[in-house]
Amino acid sequence: MVTPEQIELSRRIQQFFTGDLEASVKFETNFPGVEKHLLRAQIQRISSGTQVRLFSFIFLVLIYCFCTDRTEKLF
């Protein structure tokens, strides 16, 4: 489970992952967790941003096609 605090701090952390999921995260403030928590927070941020953008893109394409009467090219 990823906490909102971990997601917020993961935005500011720029470090390479060591591959050891139990390694501590070195950052100017204390990160509440180990490397596996940071990795999960990063994955959650990426997947969340991807889903929102994909939905927005599809929504805009559908609006364009229906407003310009180009539905025959869409399907």
pLDDT 10s digits, 25-64: 888 778 888 999 999 999 988 887 776 677 888 888 888 8
For residues 35 and 25, is the Cβ–Cβ distance under 8 A?
Answer: yes
Q: Which domain holds residue 50?
A: 4-74
The pLDDT value given to residue 22: 93
3-class state of residue 27 by DSSP: coil
Give Cα separations from 61 to 25, 54, 65, 66 (angstroms): 42, 11, 6, 9
Residue 71 — very low, low, confident or very high, per pLDDT cuts 50/70/90? Answer: low
Helix ranges restricted to H, 11-70: 35-67
The token pair at 47 is 């997947």
**d(Cα 52, Cα 49) in Å, to the nearest integer?**
5
